[in-house]
Amino acid sequence: MDAAGETPVGALPGEGNPEMDLSHRFSKTELTLLYEEVLYTIRHRLGKPEHHHVVDSQELYAYVQKAFGMDEEEHNVIMQQVKELESPIFCLKATVKEAKGILGKDVSGFSDPYCLLGIKTKSQELANLDHKKRMKAVVKDLIPEDQIHRTQVISQTLSPVWDETFILEFEDAETASFHLDMWDSDVVESVRHKLGELTDLHGLKRIFKDARKDKGQDDFLGNVVLHLKDLHCWNDQWYQLEPRTETYPNRGQCHLQFLLTHKKRATTSSRTQPSYIVHRHLLQQLVSYEILQHQAGSIAWDGELSRHASTVLYLHATQKDLSDFHQVIVRWLAYSKLYQSLEFNSNCLLHQITSIEYQWVQERLRPEQKAEVAESFQSLLTYGVSLIRRYRIIFPLSVPRSTERLQSLLRVLVQMCKTKAFHELCTPSPNLPYMVSTALKSGTTEWFHMKKQHLKPMVKSMEENGKALSRLLLEVLGDLQQCQKIWNRFFISTLKLNLFSIAYLELERLVAEHVQEQLREVNSSMSKHTAESLFQLYMNLQELYRMKDFLPKRDGPLALNNFHQWFKEGVPQWLQKAYTIALERAQRAVQMDQLTPFGEHNKHSTSTVDLSTCYAQIVKTWQQLNWPDPEEAFMIMVKLVEDMCRIALMYCRLIKGRAEALSLHKQNEGEEANRLCIVVNNIKQLRLLILKLPSQLDWVQLEQRMGAVIDRQQIQHTLHNQLDSTISCLDHEIQEVVQALATKLEKGIARHIQELSSSDDTREPEDSIVPLMKFLESELQYLNEHLVQENFKSLLALLWHHTLAVLSAAMGQQIPSAQCYMKLRCALKSLELCFHAEGCGLPLPMLHTAVFQSLETRLDLCSATSRKLIQKYFSNRIQQQLDASSEKYGAVTIKALYCPSEQKLHVEVLNAVNLIPLDSNGSSDPFVQLTLEPRHEFPEVVARATQCKRNELHPLFDEAFDFLIPAEKCRQEGACLLLTVFDYDVLGANDLEGEAFFPLCHLPGLNTDEDPSDAARVPQTRLPLTHPKPTDEILQLLESRKGDKEAQAFVKLRKQRAKQSKETE
């Protein structure tokens, strides 16, 4: 595979891809030499194994044999050659870093430390020293002088820092040991100079001690002795300085680093190639094998080496004395190269980049190494950008972890381009965002043309072209949605690139060009089927155009602006298709409808469900069109509303016809009523659907769009009037069906009321209305179960008006009988409760019409007893007096109070004023008659009268009267003191000046247990005089009761009183 290639998902490298880059693989000769190198490394292994490494060398031999693909014979041959090769020179690379806490041997309290170090072999041991003494012996006594190494002297310190490295050769790690002595360097100084450095008593003691030493003799500070067989290949730690005597056991610590390496390796690779190149080849070979070992494929490998590979590479790097920096460079070169042929988790590349950045020192690389690193940067950059260009194919979302792989690649490229190494070696530094942006554009164009070619129809026709365009648009939409929802955030977070904007602007332009090119052939002769096939294409283009809202910014118009004009010729056919489908579905729904509720809690039949779906589909068509041009959109709306109204009226006609057809086959009055209930419910449901159209079709938004194009009144006239007209037609249809249901009940109601009127007067009214209430309860319960609430209430309203009319008619036909009226009154009250149904039926304001109130009042009067009527009469006269606005006939003034202790009514008639002159002399002879009314409440109380005052229109009486009456009688309805003012005539009947009524319920003292304390304080009451009306409803009703003597006597008395009046009101 070239720099732009990649291993197909699930395929092994080299399989099915002849162009795969196999540069990571070696020729047979190169592989043999490399195998020799790795066997030599294992055979001459040094150091104590690390805890995470493989200890058994045979395991390592078996591993590398598999990794290099060697058969047993080849392995044995090369192994024999390795055994015959000369062994390398074993070296201990020792670095004396620093020390701390050492003894101060000088008079100043400090020392001038230096170290002597070397390797002692078994043959160099002193035969005359026992083991303990040998361990405490100094280096110069154990090791030949030419093999002893010495550090610099660090003056006057207890924490010296040397950081000096020495290469110490040895032959056998099993018998060799490392020795280090630390000494305080002493030079000959005068006593005067030493005294000048004296700081304390301990310093003086040191002067005396130095005086006993040989001049120039160094002081021993401590030593470190280590067996090489106990060392790992790499060691870095602090070691305790051991004493020769127990005088000062705590002598401080020394920081040492050790590396066990080889010199003069006998392998061909080591002799002919630089160490880092050999190590890189070995790394490439082992990593390739590691990747291929993963059963899930190369992509599943996350860069983690096995214990065997880690052990081999660690041994080789240490034996070749490769620095950490060069190992990092080697790993980068190997991994970046392998990534381009055996794609794996690029996070391991990110780790190598980070390591290079932390350890980068350009001067530590030779020119050829710098060139190699620079080439690896450029190669990976080119390869990575090529993968990004084809990210849709390379990182398909159908493959697990594709998003992680792409995100990791982006991070690798970004971090690589940010490193100091990249900027120093790759000049001028490439612009990564620009390279990626360019690659994304070209990759998007390539992907679009590939999809277009793949979806090209086999048969070239207008319909097939339309379908192919729709499928292509779906692919584009799906890709853009993935860009916007998934991929975009990765490019923004790493490169600050908006992938969606790049892809959208490119695809939108390509789609616009391609669709316009195809529609040029279609528009000239668009057929019905072609227009229908293009509807999906229009919706897909609409969705594509709406995605522009996700663009952060854009310059200039898009290529898809006004794309709706490309489809203008197809709109009428789209609308006609929607209407035809809805109409046919509604017709089929009615034909299949059995006019029974389709659910337990529903009162409609199945056809309303289908009708609702038809309307919803038309509304969806409008929403899908979303026509941008306001004027054209208004015309589309008018057509849709007209079609839906036509469907509604057609449905009413068909559903009523369906009910009639079913009634012809099933002659059952109950089922016929049930079907009528379903019909009216269905039409009511249809009415609700129509009323929802303005909100579903969003007329408000349409009116706002057309504000500058079409006058608001025109919209109102065209759309709202059309809808209102349809609603009126539906209301008329509902009213007709409800009226038909009401007519069926009206006959039964009229019959039961007629039977009620003619029933025996001896029966109680409550018993007489039972048949009527049972009939209504049965019928109304049935209708309530089968009608929706609104229709049921409409039916109740019709029945209520009819019932009131029937009751009124029955009342007019009756022989005046209180018992008969009581039955009708009881029926009215029961019907009111029945139709109200505790708030579930008609509201009280709808029940209490003028007809009801008049009928109720009339029945209350007609059904009352004569005595109740008489009481009502006096109550009316009292109210008439209160309503009087003038004193046309004068007034009378009295004082009245009640004494509870004596049950006595005390009345004082004070005067009368402004009486009407009734005598020929222009005056009158007035007197006042006092009676307690009604007489049946006060039968034993006789009338009283004042004296007559001659020729007075303002008489002063000042007379008092007492009446013995119980308090409860005063509280009865209509109980009053009647004061009748007469003009006394000697020869004829007295003339009536007027009547005044004082209600006894208002008597002072009536509602207390004690008598008024001061009768003088009782207020005066001025009562206007009135005359009886010439006609009175109550008197007429009483007069009609011929067999009631009490009623007749009362009427006679009141008529007589009326005759005594010389004026009428």
One-character DSSP codes across 625-662: H--S-HHHHHHHHHHHHHHHHHHHHHHHHHHHHHHHHH
- Which comes out higher in pLDDT, residue 813 or 854? 854
Residue 248 has pLDDT above 80, yes or no: no
What's the Cα-to-Cα distance from 553 to each of 23, 146, 498, rounded to whole Å?
46, 79, 11
**843-850 CB contacts, 8 Å cutoff, 24+ apart:** 846/797, 846/800, 847/800, 849/801, 849/804
Is residue 715 scored above 80 in pLDDT?
A: no
User: Higher-confidence residue: 247 or 599?
Assistant: 599
pLDDT for residue 337 is more than 60: yes
Question: What crossing angle do the helices spanning 528-546 and 499-523 adopt, rounded to 10°?
Answer: 160
Q: How far is CA 545 from CA 568, 892, 1062, in A?
A: 17, 95, 98
Task: Choose among 17, 41, 36: nearest CA to 26.
Answer: 36
Mean pLDDT of the chain: 84
Least confident of 333-347, 379-393, 420-434, 745-759: 745-759
3-state secondary structure of 846: helix
pLDDT of residue 8: 38
More confident residue, 666 or 833: 833
Give the pLDDT mean for 116-120.
92
pLDDT band with cut points at 50, 70 and 90 for residue 708: confident
Angle, alpha carbons 196-109-179 (nearest 5°) = 130
Pick from 182-186, 803-807, 1002-1006 the range whose average pLDDT is largest: 182-186
Taking the CA atoms of 631, 632, 636 and 639 in sequence, report the sign of the dihedral they define.
Answer: positive
d(CA 360, CA 769): 111
Identify the pLDDT of residue 14: 36
| pLDDT per residue as tens digits for the range 591-649 | 998 888 887 778 888 999 999 999 999 999 999 999 988 888 889 999 999 999 999 99
Determine whether 172 is exposed, middle or buried from the number of CB atoms within 10 Å of its CB (0-12, 13-18, 19+).
Answer: exposed
pLDDT at residue number 784: 76
**Predicted confidence band at 1015 (pLDDT cuts at 50, 70, 90)?**
low
pLDDT(34) > 80? yes
- C-alpha–C-alpha distance, residues 347 and 412, integer Å: 7
Lowest-confidence region among 355-364, 576-585, 813-822, 910-919: 813-822
Q: How far apart are CA 923 and CA 915, in angstroms?
A: 9
What pLDDT score was predicted for residue 205? 58
Quick one: pLDDT at residue 796?
81
Taking the alpha carbons at both ends of the chain, their separation in whole angstroms is 124
**568 SS3 class:** helix
Sign of CA dihedral 211, 213, 215, 217: negative
- Buried/exposed code over 711-735 (b: 16+ C-beta within 10 A; e: otherwise): eeeebeebbeeebeebeebbeebbe
CA 569 – CA 532 distance, rounded (Å): 11
Please report the pLDDT score of residue 975 as a whole number: 92
683-706 pLDDT, tens digit per residue, is: 888 999 999 999 998 888 888 887
Per cent of the chain over pLDDT 70 is 90
Which pLDDT band, with edges at 50, 70 and 90, does 23 fall under?
very low
CB-CB contact of 1033 with 1063 (8 Å): no
Residue 22 has pLDDT above 50, yes or no: no
Q: Which amino acid is at 1050?
A: F
Pairwise CA distance, residues 389 & 585, whole Å? 51
Averaged over 713-733, what is the pLDDT?
86
Q: What pLDDT, on the 0 to 100 scale, is given for residue 819? A: 74
476 DSSP assignment: H
Q: What was the pLDDT predicted at 978?
A: 93
Q: What is the mean pLDDT of residues 220-238?
A: 91
pLDDT confidence of 136, banded at 50, 70, 90? low
Render pLDDT for 367-406 as a digit per residue (tens, 0 to 9).
Answer: 888 899 999 999 999 999 999 999 999 999 888 888 888 9
Q: 253-263 and 234-240 as β-strands: parallel, antiparallel, unpaired?
A: antiparallel
Q: What is the mean pLDDT of residues 936-958?
A: 92
Question: For residues 26 and 280, what is the distance between their CA atoms, to the nearest angstrom?
Answer: 12
Is the distance from CB of 977 to CB of 998 less than 8 angstroms? yes
What is this structure's pTM? Answer: 0.63
Main-chain phi, psi angles of 963, to 5 degrees = -125, 130
Tokens (6 digits) for 214: 């040989």
Q: Tell me the CA distances in angstroms from 836 to 50, 756, 800, one per residue in order.
A: 97, 22, 10
69-104 burial, b for 16+ CB within 10 Å, e for fewer?
Answer: ebeeebbeebbeebeebeebebbbbbebeebeebbb
Q: So what's the pLDDT on residue 893?
A: 94
State residue 127's pLDDT score: 43
Question: For 253-309, what is each residue's pLDDT tens digit?
Answer: 999 999 999 999 999 999 999 888 899 899 989 988 888 877 445 556 777 888 999
Q: What pLDDT does 356 receive?
A: 86
CA distances (Å), 719 to each of 286, 537, 638, 692, 728, in order?
80, 30, 6, 13, 14
pLDDT given for residue 3 in this prediction: 36
Reading the block at residue 865, the tokens are 């007893």
- pLDDT band of 871, cuts 50, 70, 90: confident
Q: What's the average model confidence in pLDDT over 55-71?
A: 92
Distance between CA atoms of residues 995 and 1023, nearest Å: 9
Across-strand partners of 566?
none
Tell me if 432 sits within 8 A of 414, measured CB to CB: yes
Compare 665 and 1059 and report the one with higher pLDDT. 1059
pLDDT tens digits for 1018-1040?
889 999 999 888 778 888 888 88
pLDDT at 16: 36
Determine the pLDDT at residue 522.
Answer: 62
Mean pLDDT, range 822-842, rounded to an integer: 82
Please, which pLDDT band fits residue 112 given cuts at 50, 70 and 90? very high
Which tokens hold the place of 813?
């036909």
Provide mean pLDDT across the span 70-95: 92
- pLDDT band per the 50, 70, 90 thresholds, residue 189: low
Q: Reply yes or no on whether the pLDDT at 762 is more than 60.
A: yes
